Structure formats: structure tokens, C-alpha cells
Structure 1
């Protein structure tokens, strides 16, 4: 289906330096090209004139990597907002809770969301689930998001690749369509 760019918004979730710091500290992630794919999406959305919303996480716990006074709170250069692109600050996993994101989208007549960012199984997943539940036509860009290895509650090691794949499987066709950057850019080019 061809969608008009004016009715489609890019939602860029938490592309912040804290994740670089996690990697530098030894946490392993998947999808090393995700930030480059996000930069490509930003370029395509800007060229098409479609709206872009930047989401930033602001930590509230004293040990958070995302405290507003910490270096981790800063956005990565590749995902920096352009003049006029709104930046919405959230303090929980969903970009819709405690923010005016939904009202901004509704006021602009936006019906379709394209979601990318970090991390797949936390803020991206929560935002995507809520977007679907709120009735937005939602696309999650599989190659423009990433996550980290984690230990499960029983001490089992789960790879970032497995977590990423399971999250996409859980969201697919229930809350969102799972798409690639190239599919999104092609949609923008033909709209």
C-alpha cells in the first residue's frame, strides 16, 4: 500500500550515547549497522518532507546511564534532530506515557508510524506495542534497531540476536509490520 509521506511519521527512539558507553564497558549488541540505517531513514524522511519525532530517554534512578546530566543522555551525532524536528522526553519505556506524542500525532493527522531506535526489546518494543494498540498503522524497521545480550531470570544467557528475533516475532502482524530500511525508503520514493 502506498502511503502519503505527510500522513507517515518516523519515530526515532533513544539513539543516545549511553549505548556506546555500554558497549565500551563490554556489553555485546547485535545489528552493528543499525545507527547507519537510522541515519539513512532520517535522510529519506527529510527529503520526502515527512514528519520526524525524536524520542529521548531521561533516567530518573541515580544509577541510570540516561540521567540528563550524564554523557549518556546526549544523542548520537548520526541521529541528531534537524531544526524544527520535535524532541520528546520520556521517563519510562513507552514514548506515549507521560508525553504529548499521541496528541501531536493526532493533531497532525498522522496515521502511520515508522519506528526505529534502541533497544529492540525495551523502549522500541513498548512504544511499538502501544502504537498498535492506539490504532496507528505501525511499521517497525528490523535493521534500524538493536539490543544487547541478557541473562534471563534463571541465569540463562540469551544472545542479542535471539532477543531481537523473538521481539520481532512477538510484534509481527499483531502490533506492527516488520520491515526493512530499504522497504521504507522505497515506499517514500513512490508515495
Structure 2
């Protein structure tokens, strides 16, 4: 059975309106937002800390370019006034931000990471969290990715990219545990 620390933090990564842009292509795991919302409700009901990570792009034309709608949080997953918001400019939410310090000052050692993109910001942040000594948990049903072309031009289905990214994380960086098991542990 999965156990959660009483102060385990839910880290919601890049759940912004820009992720809904058709320009990003076909994605997997269409129920991810629903499961993220269920975890968010459980975290709030148990008074555990929630961190909302927002990507602020430095690249004009990005779905996360400042000042446009894509940069805003999706309404159903928007932070409450007392929840921490961490902005970042690169995929890793620990790189050049105060996230590690914010967690350590509060004695938080267990992190449940959800959001997007599985093989980009979620994986980068989970890898750093694991390397920094945090107990990182990634529910596979709370993240998604898009079809992706490799360097030879072959397009890999989002389901395969997602599965490989989670397998990479499970090797050394994080535990991969379904959201339903985490909800039972709250």
C-alpha cells in the first residue's frame, strides 16, 4: 500500500491553456485533467501543500508567451490564493527557481508530480527532484504528451513516448503510482 507524508506536496506542472492548442498535435491520456483535478481536490481537502508551476516562455510564438491566454492556468486547475505558484523559463522547475528552497524550508520531502509534458517538463522536473533527494511520485494517468518525431523523421505515437518517459523515471528518479492508489492514501 502506498503511504503519503502528511505534508506531501502536489506539484502541478504547466497545466496552462496553451496546452490545449491544436498546434501541439495529437496527445494521449485524454482523461489526465480529470485525474489531476481529483488529486487536487484530495490534496486541498487534506490540507496538504499544492504548488502550481507556470511556464513563461522566452520564445516568441510559444503557446506560453507572456501576456496571451495560453500562458494562463486552465480554470479547473487554477491555484487558490494561498497555493504557491512557481514560474519557470526552462522545462525543469528546479532550474534557476526557488522551488527547492521553498520545499526544504517547509520540511517537504515527498513530491507528487502531475502535469505536462510527460517527456519534457514533467520528466525534467522529476529527474531533478529525484537527484536532489526528494521522494518523487509520478501518477502515469495524470500526465500526457504528444506524437513526436525523432531525429530521423519517424513519428512516434504519444502513447509510446509517454511509456518510455515513465520507464526512464522509474529506473532511478521516481516511483510511478496510479492516481487512484494515491487517492486511497490521502
| Matching of residue 4 in structure 1 with residue 5 in structure 2 | yes
- 1:7-31 per-position Cα deviation (integer Å, ceiling 9, x unaligned): x10000000111111x3x4710000
Q: Deviations over 1:7-61 (max 9, x none)?
A: x10000000111111x3x4710000000111111100000111100000000001
Give the secondary-structure state (helix, strand or coil) at the position aligned to 1:143.
Answer: helix
2:173 alignment counterpart? 175
Cross-structure match for 2:13: 13
Quick one: structure 1 residues 20 and 3, their matched pair in 2 at CA, closer, same or farther if it must change by over 3 Å? Answer: closer
* Corresponding residue of 2:153: 155
Aligned with residue 52 of structure 2, among 41, 51, 54 = 54
Structure 1 unmatched runs, 5+: none
Among 89, 92, 116, the residue aligned to 1:91: 89
CA RMSD of aligned residues (A): 1.1
Alignment partners' CA distance in 2, 1:3 and 1:46: 14
Unpaired runs of 5+ in structure 2?
none
Instruction: Name the SS of the counterpart of 2:141 in structure 1.
Output: strand
CA deviation after TM superposition for structure 1 residue 64, in Å = 1.4
Aligned mates of 1:34, 1:108 — CA distance in 2: 28
> Quick one: distance in 1 between partners of 2:74 and 2:3?
31
Q: 1:45 to 1:26 in 2, by over 3 A?
A: closer
Q: 2:100 — aligned with what?
A: 102
Over 6 Å off, 4+ runs = none
